[in-house]
Structures are given as structure tokens and as C-alpha cells.
Amino acid sequence: MTILSTTSEHSCGFDREARVPCVSGCPAHVDIPGYISLVEAGRYADAVKVIRKNNPLPLVCGLVCEHPCEMHCRRGMVDDPMNILALKRFAVEHSDLNDHKPHVVDNTGKRVSVIGGGPAGLSCAYYLAVMGHKVTIFEQRHHLGGMLRYGIPSYRLPRERLQAEIDWILSAGIDVELDHSVNGEELARLRDEFDAVSRSRPDLQHIARYDLCRAVVGQQRPLEDEVVGCVARYALGGCEFAHIATVSSV
């Protein structure tokens, strides 16, 4: 049994010596010089295709990404860094999301369950689907999106645009079970039944028929001890506050 953990394996880390600085600074290692060149040439759909090779949510990132890539842009040695975030958004807004359909390889016969329908779960499901696996996402809320939907206000990330990008990802043949809360009590059984398991809250009564389970439950819970000296009953975690503030616009 293999236990997979993004924390212990440092899967979000990168080797700055191996790539162009802006690409090294991008957590998804998107080919930034490549899509900027395509934007310059007016090939916006191709630019989006390049972005989606490493990141299936280009519109979302064009709106709310923290753009750490710009910190490493070598243009900043001359005057100011390139506005990489805006160029990504420009490419997406000037191309139809349906201009490019993902190429899905032949069915491998493997069934994969993904626990959590936030950005990590959607990305995981997308890349597994294009590799030929049959993927089902289990999401405890009524909508997919996770913190993109329940943590970011709609004036920053319009819900209809978020949903359009989610629908594009699901078009790769991904099944979804909404309002499906999973339970951590079955974790021991899950480890026995599946090839690879992340820290999760799975319910094997529903997902034991799958060959692989990936749990990407996100950052929905606040750190309880983050505020020193705070009286718990008067404290409201940032994630909880964001959910309350955005739930009416989901």
C-alpha cells in the first residue's frame, strides 16, 4: 500500500535551476514564454491549449492567481516584470472555452474516485480522465469548486465563468456525485482495498468498487490555534467567514 501526501512528498516544490525563472516560479510550471508568444501572434486558442497542458483552470487563474511567476520575470531586471496574469486572462477572454477539446486516450479499464471537487480535485480528475481512466468525483457540497466557489467572492470570480470552466473539465468524461459527504471512519478499510490513498474521509460503502482513491479535501477547515489568546466561542475562522459571505452567490 502506498500512502500519497502532497505535504510529505513536496509535490508543489520546484527546482529553480532546471527551468526558465518565471516557469520555475509558477506552481503548475506552465510554459509561460510559450503562451505569451502565442498571444503576441494572435493565436489565443493555442495559447489556452498550452496553459491547459499544465493547468486546466486558466480562466480562474487569469482572474485570481497570485502570479508568483512575475516575481521571477527577467524583464524586471530592465524595468518592470511582464503582466503575466493579465496576458493569461486576455488569452482566455479572446478564445472560446470550447475551441479545444482534450484528447482522451483509450480506456484503461481503471476506475478512480476523487474525494473533493475543489481546484485540486478537479485538476486531479481531469488529468486522470485524459489518461484514459474512468473518474468519479465525490463532493460533499451542492456545487463543485471548493474554495474557488465558497471562499472567493463573486465580484472577483463570477460564478457563471467558474461554472463554465468546471463544465469544460467535466466534458472529459468525468462523473460527479454531489451532496455526497465522505467519512473518515473507513480509512483503514480504504488502505486495504485501494492501490494508493491520501489522507481522506472516504466511505467505502460507496467507493470500494474503484481501483484507486485520491482524496483532495482542500482547506475548508481553519487552524484552530492560529490566534493566540482568542476565546473560541467568539472566534470565526477565515474559511468559515468566507463561506458565510459567499454562500448566497454560489
pLDDT at 103: 81
Give the phi and the psi of residue 197 in degrees, each rounded to 5.
-140, 135
Render pLDDT for 212-248 as a digit per residue (tens, 0 to 9): 555 555 555 555 555 555 555 556 666 666 666 666 5
Strand order in the sheet with 134-138: 175-177, 134-138, 111-115, 212-215
Q: Report the alpha-carbon distance of residue 222 to residue 182 in Å, rounded.
A: 19
If one counts every other C-beta atom within 10 angstroms of the C-beta of residue 206, the result is: 16
pLDDT at 232: 57
pLDDT at 241: 62
At 203, is the pLDDT very low, low, confident or very high (cuts 50, 70, 90)? very low
In this predicted structure, the answer to whether residue 11 has a pLDDT above a threshold of 60 is no
Segment 148-177 mean pLDDT: 89
Listed ranges 10-14, 204-208, 244-248; the one with the highest mean pLDDT: 244-248
Q: Report the alpha-carbon distance of residue 243 to residue 142 in Å, rounded.
A: 13
In this predicted structure, the answer to whether residue 17 has a pLDDT above a threshold of 70 is no
Segment 59-85 mean pLDDT: 88
pLDDT at 1: 36
Which position has the higher pLDDT, 82 or 224? Answer: 82
What percent of the chain has pLDDT above 70? 64
In this predicted structure, the answer to whether residue 67 has a pLDDT above a threshold of 60 is yes
- 202 and 186 Cβ atoms separated by less than 8 Å: yes
Render pLDDT for 100-142 as a digit per residue (tens, 0 to 9): 777 888 888 888 888 888 898 899 889 988 988 888 888 888 8
pLDDT at 4: 42
What one-letter code names the amino acid at 148?
L
